[in-house]
Chains A and B, each alone.
Chain A
Amino acid sequence: MIPFIFPDLGPYKVEVLSAYAGTILLLLALVVASIWQGRKTRARLDDYEARRAQKRDSDGDAGA
């Protein structure tokens, strides 16, 4: 098994780690926002279509 060794970042530790941390945060925010927006829109559309179908059915029953 290869032993886990954290790389020696020397005097630039803050720069390198902040670059990685900032990137990961921004990418995570983008991914989470995209998934959340997608789910919200899908739920709204499904809900709207279900209500529409229900209304159509009840209108059909009333007509018969």
Chain B
Amino acid sequence: MALSGAVLPWITGLAVVLVLGGLIWGFFFTPNDFRQGSTVKIIYIHVPAAIMGSGTWFMMLAASLVWVIRRHHVSALAAKAAAPVGMVFTLIGLFTGAVWGQPMWGTWWEWDPRLTAFLILFLFYLGYMALWAAVENPDNAADLTAVLCLVGTVFAVISRYAILFWNQGLHQGASLSMDAEENVADVFAYPLWVCIIGFGLLFVCLVLLRTRTEIRARRLGALIAQERMA
């Protein structure tokens, strides 16, 4: 708690600077795309949000595995704390994707593998949070949600790599990749990287903040239970 309390203000400050800086750079100081027009500016929120949407689930998977193997309570609480953050990022990815898709594809939604997997991932986030809320015993809730997290990982993987598994659907491949022959142009890529790092740091600071809250809530619950037993 002492370490997270010390680093939290620094990470928060850096996240705010990078998110605002990246969005302002992308929105105000990059040109329109010759094919997509000004809708290309949606890339600075859609791509980072989608990366964090599925990335959060992988973090929750890692934390759930630590809980299952080592019974480390903080890891279970970190997974619980991350779920609403991942849910919001996934929702932003779905929303901005639909708003971008309408003028470019002519439709708000298409049952394409990547989009469908991402929608299912969003529903998994809702189910995960509902399960935590529904089970009274926190250890039982951590066990059950860890299993749910393992199952949901299938959709997190599909949502990220669907384009490699099924070469079909409206959604394009990765916009940025280390080994791709064709990436987005540098003028779009630089602010996009700033936004991706900013969203990543925003995720870290929100998860730290929420995990600290969960730890305090857990301590409060334990104290109340202890008093009742006495």
Q: Interface of A with B (CB < 8 Å)?
A: 5-13, 15-16, 18-20, 22-23, 26-27, 29-31, 33-35, 37-38, 41-42, 44-45, 48-49, 52
Contact = CB atoms under 8 A, between A and B. Distances in A.
Given A10-B32, A20-B45, A23-B45, A15 B209 contact: no
A12 B96 contact: no
Please tell me the size bucket of the interface on B: 35 or more
B39 A15 contact: yes
A5 B88 CA distance: 31
A18 B100 CA distance: 10
B92 A27 contact: yes
Interface of B: 23, 27-28, 32, 37-39, 41-42, 45-46, 49, 84-85, 88, 91-92, 95-96, 99-100, 102-103, 202, 206, 209-210, 212-213, 216-217, 219-220, 223-224, 227
Nearest to B212: A38
Given A10-B37, A19-B99, A41 B216 contact: yes
A5 B31 CA distance: 13
Contacts of B99: 15, 18-19, 22
25 contacts: A5-B28, A7-B38, A8-B32, A10-B32, A12-B38, A12-B103, A13-B38, A15-B39, A16-B39, A16-B41, A19-B42, A19-B95, A19-B100, A20-B23, A22-B96, A23-B49, A27-B88, A27-B202, A30-B85, A30-B206, A34-B213, A37-B213, A38-B213, A38-B216, A48-B223
Given A38-B210, A41-B220, A45-B219, A7 B27 contact: yes
Contact of B91 (A13, A20, A26): A26
Chain B binding site: helix, strand, loop or mixed by DSSP? Answer: helix
Dominant secondary structure of chain A at its interface with chain B: helix
A31 B100 CA distance: 25
A38 B211 CA distance: 9
Residue in B49, B96, B227 with the greatest tally of chain A CB atoms within 10 Å: B96
Contacts of A7: 27-28, 32, 38, 41
Given A26-B91, A37-B213, A49-B223, A15 B27 contact: no
A23 B220 contact: no
Contacts of B92: 22-23, 26-27
